[in-house]
Chains A and B, each alone.
Chain A
Amino acid sequence: MKILIVDDSKFMRNVLLDILSKGNHDLIEAENGKIALEKYQAEKPDIVLLDIIMPEMDGMEVLKKIGQQAKVIVISAVGQEKMVEEAKSLGALNYIVKPFDNEKVLEVIMAVK
């Protein structure tokens, strides 16, 4: 699968790249919402892993643009339940809460049909 990882933290993108590199995936990165939209249009990934809090354009803004067409999994933090609900209403399929276990990430990715 082709997966677009969207997170402003390079460290977290590397953590996710490391977890997902164990599967046979084509991995793409974006460090903010604006770049994520450009890469989404250019690369047409199967799944978008999307952090909520980002500069330039946050995860919600990205969801407003592509939530109905893309398969998006939102990465949220503890206490962001309201944001998760909003993300779901904008089309997010599922969510992962930080801090997450590697298995949880793989499980959620595998569950995307």
Chain B
Amino acid sequence: MKKVIVIGSSTGGPGALEDILKELPANLPVSILIAQHLAHPFTKTLVERLQIVSKLVVSEAKNKEILEPAHAYVIPGDSHCFLYEPGPRIALLPAEDLPKPSVDMGFTSVAEHFGPDTIGVILSGMGNDGVIGAKAVKQLGGVILVQNEATSVIFGMAKRVIESGFYDKILSLPAIAAKLVELITT
């Protein structure tokens, strides 16, 4: 598996995630790591929602799990997620601070392991979690896509990332899935 997708989202994220995941093909040769700000029991519900619409395998991320292709991992709401070798595999650390799971930590760790093969996506949401993560991805040669204002429920995180300059493209929600497939297959 060469590339990886990491997605960060908050308010308005679950709906946007459904729209993206339903468009991705079953044989997608990459893993997707999802950092959606959500309390713990609700990340389980999100997994169920996403599994209904997606052709990929969707599950809550578990400690020590090796990343598999065609699989979307939702980080549990009570954890921050890092990757470690060999694998790379998932390490979940208990999260006390808000927001959680941290988009910044997830993006930074994915970028560390996949470097230029990292594709980060910032979707709808409030706050500025994701700016540092986007910086990490861009610094290490990866690509950052952000959801545009018109299709966002809350244009906060994406706006902050755009202001920081650490992004490549601003896209409408329907255009994001198509761009992901293009980036992965080229």
Contact = CB atoms under 8 A, between A and B. Distances in A.
B91 A78 contact: no
Contacts of B136: 98-99
B112 A98 contact: yes
Contacts of A98: 108, 112, 136
A53 B85 CA distance: 10
Interface stretch (B13-21, B97-105, B143-151): B97-105
Contacts of A10: 85
A15 B84 contact: no
A78 B114 contact: no
Interface string A1-27: 000000011111001000000000000
Interface residues of A, number: 15
Given A99-B135, A99-B139, A79 B104 contact: yes
Interface of B: 80, 82-86, 88, 91, 93, 97, 102, 104-105, 108-109, 111-115, 132, 135-136, 139-140
22 contacts: A8-B84, A8-B85, A9-B83, A9-B84, A9-B112, A9-B113, A11-B112, A11-B113, A11-B114, A11-B140, A53-B91, A55-B86, A77-B108, A78-B102, A78-B105, A78-B108, A79-B80, A98-B108, A98-B112, A99-B132, A99-B136, A99-B139
